[in-house]
Amino acid sequence: MQTRVLHWVGNLAIGIVGALLWVAEPLAVPLLAVPLVLTFLAYRGWLRSVEERDAMRELAGEAEQISSGGGTSRLTLPPGQEDARTLAVSLNAMLARLEGAFDRERLFIRETSHELRTPITICRGHLELLDAEPDPTDLEETVDLVVDELDRMARIVDDMNTVARMEDPASLRRVEIGVDALVADVAAKTALLTDGRLSVDRAAPDLRVTADPQRLTQALINLVNNAIQHTPDGTLVELRATEGQAHWRFEVADHGGGVPGGSETAVFQPFCTGTSKRPGNGLGLAIVSGIARAHGGRAGLDNRPGDGAAFWLEVPR
């Protein structure tokens, strides 16, 4: 409001000065035009700086409220202030990313607690039963069960560390690799698993991608393993790499039952196993997503409920 008044007063003052000069001495107006224009431009520049300053102060105040946990979780976009508005848009995008990261962290901790609670409960129950009713004949069976559950907890912890490590770009060792060689290597390493069910669409031998070959291979093996586990025996699984303008897309398509509608994003969350009764802790696709994000890419799927799904990850070229 204050800057609007200053804007109006300044324009009025320049107009009055010009009118008075014209009345007093019309011939002097052309001589004074340049100083008047320069004065007017200087005034407008000063006024703009005042408006920008006020807008920045408002943004700083809102940011401090958000930091202290009060107010909304986003900054208000200042009307008419291009620089301040651009800054607010960038800060809101950063806040959205941070919010997403915190949400994933909370989900990860909650799901981890749930996954570890089950084997701990099983171990404790059998050990308490053995302590209450010692029976040498049950000792060996109880020991085997407890060791098996401890092994399962160890695998969960190892996979959790993998998921946490995968999203860190600093953990990558990027080199230039042949796309065709990468796909062929994945096919060779999953040959026993796929038992002839994997169809590979080979790329031209001279096409290259800059990525961490071990992590990318791990992600593709996870996608192939996921497809084999969720499709009927004898069903074909397809592995292909396609080149986009700014990225490479690696895709594993199957012809199973697809993913239940509405869960296309949830399947990439840690410990999501869907309706499958197959063994696994639900971290395979989360690892794929983490590897894609660490490369500056993304993971997703093209879902065809009842007719299969195509899981993919994209990495920059």
Q: Rounded to an integer, what distance in angstroms lies between the CA atom of residue 50 and that of residue 43?
A: 11
Evaluate if residue 196 carries a pLDDT over 60: yes
Give the domain range for residue 142.
Answer: 99-166
| Pair 180, 312 in one domain | yes
Evaluate if residue 278 carries a pLDDT over 60: no
Per-residue model confidence (pLDDT) at position 177: 92
The domain boundary residue, chosen from 109, 140, 166: 166
Q: Rounded to an integer, what distance in angstroms lies between the CA atom of residue 154 and that of residue 158?
A: 6
Q: Which two tokens stand for residue 252?
A: 């594993």
Question: Strand pairing partners for 304?
Answer: 308
CATH number (domain holding residue 157): 1.10.287.130
Tens digits of per-residue pLDDT, 60-69?
777 777 776 6
Find how far residue 255's CA is from the centre of its chain. Answer: 28
- Per the document, the length of the chain is 317
Strands 308-316 and 298-304: antiparallel
DSSP 213: H
Structural domain total, the chain: 3
Tens digits of per-residue pLDDT, 149-179?
888 888 778 777 777 777 778 888 899 999 9
Per-residue model confidence (pLDDT) at position 240: 92
Residue 117's pLDDT band, with cuts at 50, 70 and 90, is: confident
Q: Rounded to an integer, what distance in angstroms lies between the CA atom of residue 221 and that of residue 223?
A: 5
Evaluate if residue 277 carries a pLDDT over 50: no
Name which of 267, 302, 307 is nearest 288 in CA terms. 267
Percent of the chain with pLDDT over 90: 15
What is the maximal distance between C-alpha atoms in the chain?
120
Q: At residue 235, what are phi and psi to the nearest 5 degrees?
A: -80, 140
Q: Residue 85 domain-assigned?
A: no
pTM here is 0.59
Q: Which two tokens stand for residue 142?
A: 């109880």
Strands 298-304 and 237-243: unpaired
Mean pLDDT of 192-197: 85
CATH number (domain holding residue 273): 3.30.565.10
Q: Residue 293 domain-assigned?
A: yes
| Pair 207, 274 in one domain | yes
| Pair 234, 208 in one domain | yes
Q: At residue 259, what are phi and psi to the nearest 5 degrees?
A: -105, 140
| Pair 229, 296 in one domain | yes
Q: Which of 73-87, 131-145, 176-190, 248-262 has the lowest mean pLDDT?
A: 73-87
Evaluate if residue 71 carries a pLDDT over 70: no
Q: Rounded to an integer, what distance in angstroms lies between the CA atom of residue 294 and that of residue 160?
A: 16
